[in-house]
Amino acid sequence: MPHSTDPTALLNGIYAFIDPAQVRTDPDSCLNYGRDWTRLYAPNPLAVVLPNSIAQVQALVRYANEHRLALVPSGGRTGLSGAAVACRGEIVVALERMNQILDFDPVDRSVTCQAGVVTETVQNFARDHGLYYPVDFASRGSSQIGGNIATNAGGIKVIRYGLTRDWITGLKVVTGSGDLLDLNRGLIKNASGYDLRHLFIGSEGTLGIIVETTLKLTRPLCEPVVMVLGVPDLDSVMSLYHVFRNKLELSAFEFFSEPALGHVLKKGLHRPFDAATPYYVLIEFENPGQLHTDTALALFEQCAEQGWLADGVISQSEHQAKELWRLREDISESISEHLPYKNDLAVRISRAPAFLAEADALLTREYPDFEVLWYGHIGDGNLHINILKPTAMDHPAFVAKCGAVSEHLFGILQQYGGSISAEHGVGLTKKPYLHYTRDAAEISYLRAIKKAFDPNGIMNPGKIFD
Ligand code: 2HG
Ligand code: ZN
């Protein structure tokens, strides 16, 4: 087939295998499907294509290879690194019509579904079958399983259940070459060579398109309770982590600062208790028949005596637990209007106290006039440090200033062996900083892997690395 650069002719070619109604070029679709939650890049896709079968995805990838068209796989577009942004005339491949749960196996305790199934749909499906899909985060109602896999999404239960990667036992992908690979097929054990499944998990759409997956399920949490504790400083946050984790099996250990809490309070939530403290810790654990209440209260007393906490509350009902969770989960959305500069750092938990002290000193020195919010999954060594744009400041100047500070922050992070992205991915926002986490030799292997799956470079070009 001859190569064409005429957009109309290119789109006409797609109509041969996808219903024209599912190929959109109207401004609204281009805007909505061409961006994610970063809101930093002007969306500018050539078109948005909504396939409804693996065969259609395969035909599209083959067509894109023939015509050297760039493809951007697209799920719920709740990402925070720009990995699903189409700002350079790409074709967005939105998986939302591939939203079927295909199979449930109670013996394997697994569910097989298409990539466009919304995370919460899987969670509800599992619950309706007496089981639990434990990967969870605030965007559960819009994010899709394929997108979660493409970023190896983490969230709020990682301390107990791990990341998305730990729940994927099967993966069907259409590679950048247009081949359909059926990886691992739900097996628990499979020692037959390289596990390509794990290359696609976290690949941010740069190797191919995830079309189907098999997920493991587990038993639900039994009567989980939530404690929110008011804490005087970051060192005490870490002390609480040691004490509570040694005695209780935690399913969450989150933290947030008083300024971060301030933003959710402005949106109508209530303080967990009267005392305002510089930091708060949210702990969740199973408490069947109140089995662990005495232990939790004894730990509370012990930590209060040490001065590691000033006040606290323990949920008395499922409803109250949910309300307490909102204090942490709603932070990100409550600050979105301030166009925050986002950090999603990871360090080994043992190195977190020293890193936090250095990072805190740097940020206090460099951002004397900016509001800096600390929150995140501290029990996983994952910090979401968000810098809010002062209203009067011009956005490009703000991003430039934050970018310059990032170089210092990531320099410190590198000394601690940390990562510039714990769970949001590299995408576009963190691409300039990848070398702080991966050395040149490692990046050259990443490039070689990309070349093997996507020889013509059509899959999400410009994401992770150039
Ligand atoms: C969270 O943990 C999300 O709330 C968003 O990962 C983090 O807003 C952020 O930086
Ligand atoms: Zn997070």
Residue from 78, 137, 335 whose mutation best tests the ligand 1 pocket (most atoms within 8 A of CB) = 137
* Residue 385 near residue 363, CB atoms below 8 Å: yes
Best CA proximity match to 53, nearest among 17, 86, 15, 25: 17
Whether 203 has a pLDDT exceeding 60, the answer reads yes
Quick one: fold of 224-332?
Answer: Alpha-Beta Plaits (3.30.70)
Proximal ligand: closest to the CA of 37: 1
Distance 264 CA to ligand 1 centre (A): 13
pLDDT per residue over 234-288, tens digit each?
999 999 999 999 999 999 999 999 999 999 999 999 999 999 999 999 999 999 9
Ligand 1 proximal residues by C-beta, below 6 Å: 138, 332, 342, 384, 386
Q: What is the pLDDT of residue 63?
A: 98
Distance 371 CA to ligand 2 centre (A): 19
Average pLDDT over residues 418-429: 98
Q: What are phi and psi of 72, to 5 degrees?
A: -120, 105
* Residue 183 near residue 172, CB atoms below 8 Å: yes
Per-residue confidence band for 463, with pLDDT thresholds at 50, 70 and 90: very high
Quote the mean pLDDT of the chain: 97
Residue nearest (by alpha carbon) to ligand 1 atom 8: 332
pLDDT per residue over 106-159, tens digit each?
999 999 999 999 999 999 999 999 999 999 999 999 999 999 999 999 999 999
Residue nearest (by alpha carbon) to ligand 1 atom 2: 376
Q: What is the pLDDT of residue 53?
A: 98
CB atoms within 10 A of CB 149: 26
Q: Record the tokens describing residue 65, joined without a space.
A: 């290879």
Spacing of C-alpha 122 from chain mean position: 17
pLDDT per residue over 297-316, tens digit each?
999 999 999 999 999 999 99
Q: Which CATH class is domain 7-96?
A: alpha beta
CB atoms within 10 A of CB 302: 13
Residue nearest (by alpha carbon) to ligand 1 atom 9: 332
CB atoms within 10 A of CB 207: 22
Residue from 148, 163, 264, 344 whose mutation best tests the ligand 1 pocket (most atoms within 8 A of CB) = 344
pLDDT per residue over 69-97, tens digit each?
999 999 999 999 999 999 999 999 999 99
Q: Which CATH class is domain 101-216?
A: alpha beta
Whether 16 has a pLDDT exceeding 60, the answer reads yes
> Do 7-96 and 224-332 come out as alike in CATH topology?
no
Distance 202 CA to ligand 2 centre (A): 15
pLDDT per residue over 309-362, tens digit each?
999 999 999 999 999 999 999 999 999 999 999 999 999 999 999 999 999 999
Whether 438 has a pLDDT exceeding 60, the answer reads yes
Residue nearest (by alpha carbon) to ligand 1 atom 3: 332
CA dist., res. 208 & res. 173, Å (int)? 7
Average pLDDT over residues 407-415: 97
Q: What is the pLDDT of residue 127?
A: 98
Minimum-distance ligand 1 atom for the alpha carbon of 344: 10
The CATH classification number of 335-446 equals 3.30.70.2740
Minimum-distance ligand 1 atom for the alpha carbon of 382: 2
pTM assigned to the model: 0.97
Q: What is the pLDDT of residue 3?
A: 56
Distance 197 CA to ligand 1 centre (A): 26
Domain ranges of the chain: 7-96, 101-216, 224-332, 335-446
Q: What is the pLDDT of residue 285?
A: 98
What sign results for the dihedral spanned by CA atoms 337, 343, 348, 352? negative
Per-residue confidence band for 369, with pLDDT thresholds at 50, 70 and 90: confident
Q: What is the pLDDT of residue 4?
A: 64
CA atoms within 13 A on the CB side of 299: 21
Residue from 39, 375, 377 whose mutation best tests the ligand 1 pocket (most atoms within 8 A of CB) = 375
Distance 255 CA to ligand 1 centre (A): 12
